[in-house]
Structure 1
Amino acid sequence: MEKEQRDELVNALRQISAGNYHPHIPVRGNASYRQLSAAILDVGNSFEKHFQQERLLGSITEKINDGLLLEEILNHVFQSFREIIPYHRISIALLDKDNKKLRSCCVRSDATKIKIAKGYSAPLEGSSLANIIATGKPRIINDLRNYLKKHPLSTSTKLIVAEGMRSSLTCPLIATHEPVGLIFFSSMQTDTYKNIHISLFQKIARQLSVTLEKSRMYEELMQLNELKNRFLGIAAHDLRSPIGVIKNFIILFLNGYLGEIDDKQREVLSTMDKNCDRMLNLIHNLLDLSAIESGKLELKPEPLDLQKFFHTYQSMTKSLAEQKQIELTLNIEPDLPDIMVDSNRIMQVLDNLVTNAIKFSHPNTTVTISARKRNGLVEISVADHGQGIPPDEISKIFKEFSKTSVRPTGGEKSTGLGLAIVRRIIEAHNGTIEVDSTVGKGTTFTINLPIGN
Structure 2
Amino acid sequence: MLFGNVPHKRQVLFSIALFFIAAFVLTVSDYLTARKTIIKESGEYAGKIANYLSGMLPIRSLPDTGDFLPRESLPAYGEKIQNVIFSFHLTNIKVYSLDGKILFSLDSEMIGKTAKNHQALDRALEGVESSHVATSSYYQQVYGRGLNHPLLETYIPIHERTTGKIIGAFEIYQDYRPMRSHVRKETLRSSIAHNILLVVFVLLFFGYGRTTSRTIENERIKMINDLEDRIEERTSELTVSKKKIDDLLERTGRMYRDLKIADEYQKNFIGLVSHELKTPLTVIKGYLALLEDGVLKPGHPDTMAALETSLDEVGNLESIVNNIIELSQLDQNDQQVFREEIDVKVLLDDAVSLVGKEIRNQGVEVLINLPPGAMVIHSDRMKVLQVLNQLVSNAVKFSPDAGRITITAVPGESGLLFSISDDGVGIPESQLKDIFNRFYQVDITTTRNYEGTGLGLAIVRKIAELMGGRVWVDSREGVGSTFFFEVPEMK
TM-score category (smaller protein): 0.3 to 0.5
- Which structure has more relative contact order (CA 8 Å, sep 6+)? It is 2
TM-score under structure 2 normalisation? 0.44
Specify which structure has the higher proportion of helix.
2
